[in-house]
Chain A
Amino acid sequence: MTEVSQQQASKTRGNYDHILYVLRANPVTLIAFGMFALLIFSAVFGPMLVPYDPLATNASNALQPPSAAHWFGTDNVGRDVFSRVIVATRLDLSISVAAVALSFIVGSILGCVAGYWGGWLDIILNRFLDTIMAFPLFVLAMGIVAALGNTIENIIYATAIINMPFYARLVRAEVNIRRDAGFARAAKLAGNSDVRVLALHIFPNALPPMMVQVSLNLGWAILNAAGLSFIGLGVSPPTAEWGIMVAEGANFIVSGEWWLAVFPGLWLMIAVFTFNLLGDGLRDIVDPRKRT
């Protein structure tokens, strides 16, 4: 009943306006974009700008509570917690970005092939994904890192493997519902081969939901990587990393030195929160139901 007037409205407004609308209607998304920019900034420039060397110990200055000189206090060997927290951004983000990129690429290819051609390829892929998903994912990541060896690289592989099924399933579903869509058949009539139809017509239409998944997944990947280093896998001690800093700080929480664990934990939380908010915001932007 509102179709007519909205159609008219949509003629004057484009995608750009839609994005502006979503941002205006949901200022939280705007904040998320701001926080995201801040995270990227500290990942790129953080190590150059921090006031102290994140690895420099100073026994005489250990376990100082937050002050003007040490915003987040100092840890048990006198390192500046603020500097360590900021410097860790780069490592934590790199791990999750690398892992998500890897699972995105592999998942997309597998999902496309299975979703478009179906048949036994589809059956094999599904069995394979079922098997991965049959493990509690964090536990599988533990097992993989324990088996492959305790390195940052292996943390990335493990995180990528446990994320991959989500991409593969999503792409498979998105490709599958569009495989027989009118526009895909029309593209074939226009002389496109199957691979071209898949790559140039169907896959780009699956991208918006993928981007939402990427954003939500980045947060989850950070949590996973931090969780693994919290239990002592991957990153090894003097390196500044949020999970490991929380683990080290945990020993001091019962005696009241809260800042050791709380600040890195808070930062970790903010980073994950940012990606989750960003994902929700992107979902609002790409969700076709919300854009008539």
Chain B
Amino acid sequence: MLSVRDLAVSFNTRRGVVDAVRGISFDVSKGEILGVVGESGSGKSVTSYALMRILDAGGVIKAGEATYSGVDLRRAAERDMRDIRGREISMIFQNPRAALNPIRKVGHQIEDVLRHHARATRFDAREKAIAALEAVKINDASARYNAYPFELSGGMCQRIVCAIALACDPRLLIADEPTTGLDITTQKAVMDLVRDLIRERDMSSILITHDLGLAAQYCDRILVMKDGVIVEQGDPAQIFSDPQHPYSRKLVDATPRAGTDVRSLLPPQERGTMVTPKISDQPLLEVRNLTKTYMGKSGPVHAVKGISFKINEGQCVGLVGESGCGKSTTSEILVRLMDATSGEIIFDGEDIATAPARGFAGDARRADIQMVFQDATDSLNPRHSARQTIAEPLRRLGRMRGAELATRIEELATLVGLPLSLLDRFPHQLSGGQKARVGIARAVALEPRFLILDEPTAALDVSIQAVVLNLLVDLRIKLGLSYLFVSHDLHVVRLLCDHVIVMKDGEIVEQGAAQNVMSNPRSDYTKMLLAAAPAPPQRRKTN
């Protein structure tokens, strides 16, 4: 159906020509769902834009061929391409909210496509648009017809984008990271819907994703891309059980799934030995009946509704939930950046909830409670070098100066595996993994007793996530830290944590030992979270 041969795409940038895709060949046959998997910069999205001929300015197809049902997509006239787009091949995108025109009713956006491809006239457009909305299982479609994108949730927006893409019954659907940024339960709903629609209509599809697990679950065949070339292709089970190329092996290893431990995320030669951390039965931190209520635009918002839990000395506790569950608010309060409405936080025998967040910078316990932030880019001052960033807590709280300070910074850099030569670089000159290391070095600089990890790997590629998670495990043992690991991903939390707390709507729905919660969840919500996570095939034990 679609046949791509030696496709090469390059971009003219001010630093010269950048080859984004360097000669790739693949086929998509009728009725097949093909997964294209790769980390950022692998050229997977560019490939799809090239097929649709909607590359950004400066991008050109340099060589190769792409044939769709006998049409040469590279050489077809722009007018012919417009007929193909939407009617033969269509696309859905990541960030669905931004993918819709913000000031046009969603129904009209569907009509635009229908009428452009002569699938509807002025008189029946509305009817057909509503039918298209119903096709993507939107309840009360005739009311949604008049909605604007900002009035709809992310998952709903993605359904609308699907409705636009499928309105004219295309034969091939390209889905570019369709669930990035959506909660895990929404992700499952959207992916199930897309798969069902494709099967129902006997279409073909290309699913582009960074998540090997997701691709394995939904695709018939997988291509693994790296730096603009396809390094491996095959069916999911085979790629998972016996990856041929070292890169796909690394990806498979790094994808967290049932039955793995944190060390096995790394390539075999890099795995360190796992030392069981010592967990005392003395609580380091005890949260009692913590609440947080603030005034929203339409009345009070109860972000945290009276939660209680304990973290023992040396323990790692995972706090899991979807966006808006109150986990970020909780961590802000614990790290004393925000005041609670009520409740106690007993840290090392004293209630720190009584010390106001505003003056906590000068509190003696400041150095004991630190945090690693979610987005490494956002959490580094763009005008400070790595060295200055790490020095900040040492100078302010540790009162270090001169040679002592310089030695300590280099010690810390070595501890987190940051090459000393990078210390004088600014954040924009560092890679994502390096920035994460700087952030971690800063957080552990004063050897805190309690460290909050706020989704520290959410913005990282899986292979870097694997490295950072292992670093965190090592640090915990070396420095005897206690962690509160905040995450939306149960599978990642399980790798690091001894104890798991599941939150929903400001309340704790379940907590217990990590193994128990994972293998034997009691609450329905936890069950749903676990079921929604992609379940890639188990890896055959080869070594």
Does B102 sit within 8 A of A, measured CB to CB? no
- A186 B15 Cβ-Cβ under 8 A: no
Please name the residue on chain B nearest to A12 by beta carbon.
B429
- A186 B442 Cβ-Cβ under 8 A: yes
- B361 A182 Cβ-Cβ under 8 A: no
- Segment touching B, from A1-9, A49-57, A209-217: A1-9
Does A11 sit within 8 A of B, measured CB to CB? yes
Does A109 sit within 8 A of B, measured CB to CB? no
Please name the residue on chain A nearest to B372 by beta carbon.
A186
B367-403 interface bits toward A, Cβ cutoff 8 Å, 1 = contact, 0 = none: 1011101110011111110000000110011000000
Q: Which of B227, B361, B367, B439 contacts A192 (CB 8 A)?
A: B361
Shortest distance from the beta carbon of B18 to any chain A beta carbon, whole Å: 5
- B18 A5 Cβ-Cβ under 8 A: yes
Shortest distance from the beta carbon of B337 to any chain A beta carbon, whole Å: 6
- B382 A205 Cβ-Cβ under 8 A: yes
Query: Cβ of A193: which chain B residues have Cβ within 8 Å of it?
Result: 361-362
- A183 B45 Cβ-Cβ under 8 A: no
Q: Is the interface of A mostly helix, strand, loop or mixed?
A: helix
A1-34 interface bits toward B, Cβ cutoff 8 Å, 1 = contact, 0 = none: 1111111011100100000010001000000000
- B396 A192 Cβ-Cβ under 8 A: yes
Q: A1-B46, A191-B361 are in contact. Are A182 and B396 (CB under 8 A)?
A: no
Shortest distance from the beta carbon of A136 to any chain B beta carbon, whole Å: 30
- A182 B20 Cβ-Cβ under 8 A: no
- B41 A4 Cβ-Cβ under 8 A: yes
Q: A186-B379, A191-B393, A193-B362 are in contact. Are A21 and B14 (CB under 8 A)?
A: yes
Shortest distance from the beta carbon of A147 to any chain B beta carbon, whole Å: 41
Does A190 sit within 8 A of B, measured CB to CB? yes
Chain B interface residue count, CB cutoff 8 Å, equals: 46
Q: A192-B396, A205-B383 are in contact. Are A182 and B378 (CB under 8 A)?
A: yes
Chain A interface residue count, CB cutoff 8 Å, equals: 31
- B361 A186 Cβ-Cβ under 8 A: no
- B41 A3 Cβ-Cβ under 8 A: yes
- A2 B361 Cβ-Cβ under 8 A: no
Query: Cβ of B383: which chain A residues have Cβ within 8 Å of it?
Result: 204-205
Does B13 sit within 8 A of A, measured CB to CB? yes
Does A181 sit within 8 A of B, measured CB to CB? yes
* Cα distance, A4 to B39, chains bound together (Å): 11
Query: Cβ of A287: which chain B residues have Cβ within 8 Å of it?
Result: none
Please name the residue on chain B nearest to A197 by beta carbon.
B361
- B396 A205 Cβ-Cβ under 8 A: no
Does B522 sit within 8 A of A, measured CB to CB? no
Q: A182-B379, A187-B381, A193-B361 are in contact. Are A9 and B396 (CB under 8 A)?
A: no
Does A130 sit within 8 A of B, measured CB to CB? no
- A194 B358 Cβ-Cβ under 8 A: yes
Does B523 sit within 8 A of A, measured CB to CB? no
- B396 A191 Cβ-Cβ under 8 A: yes
Does A201 sit within 8 A of B, measured CB to CB? yes
Does A189 sit within 8 A of B, measured CB to CB? yes
Shortest distance from the beta carbon of B98 to any chain A beta carbon, whole Å: 16
Does B428 sit within 8 A of A, measured CB to CB? yes
- A189 B428 Cβ-Cβ under 8 A: no
* Cα distance, A292 to B42, chains bound together (Å): 18
Does B303 sit within 8 A of A, measured CB to CB? no
Q: A25-B14, A189-B366 are in contact. Are A201 and B381 (CB under 8 A)?
A: yes
* Cα distance, A179 to B42, chains bound together (Å): 34
- B335 A189 Cβ-Cβ under 8 A: yes
- B428 A10 Cβ-Cβ under 8 A: yes
Within 8 A of B (CB), among A200-225: 201, 204-205
Please name the residue on chain A nearest to B335 by beta carbon.
A189
Does B148 sit within 8 A of A, measured CB to CB? no
* Cα distance, A5 to B384, chains bound together (Å): 23
Q: A4-B41, A191-B361 are in contact. Are A186 and B20 (CB under 8 A)?
A: no
Query: Cβ of A205: which chain B residues have Cβ within 8 Å of it?
Result: 381-383
Does B11 sit within 8 A of A, measured CB to CB? yes
Does B431 sit within 8 A of A, measured CB to CB? yes
* Cα distance, A9 to B13, chains bound together (Å): 12
Within 8 A of B (CB), among A160-196: 181-183, 185-194
The 5 closest A-B pairs by CB, nearest first: A182-B379, A191-B396, A190-B393, A191-B397, A182-B378
24 contacts across the A-B interface (CB closer than 8 A): A1-B18, A2-B41, A5-B18, A10-B429, A14-B429, A25-B14, A182-B379, A182-B380, A183-B378, A183-B380, A185-B337, A186-B371, A186-B380, A186-B381, A187-B392, A189-B335, A189-B370, A191-B362, A191-B393, A191-B396, A192-B392, A192-B396, A193-B362, A201-B381
Besides A191-B362, A201-B381, 6 new A-B residue pairs in contact (Cβ under 8 A), listed by A number = A1-B11, A1-B40, A2-B20, A183-B384, A186-B379, A189-B366
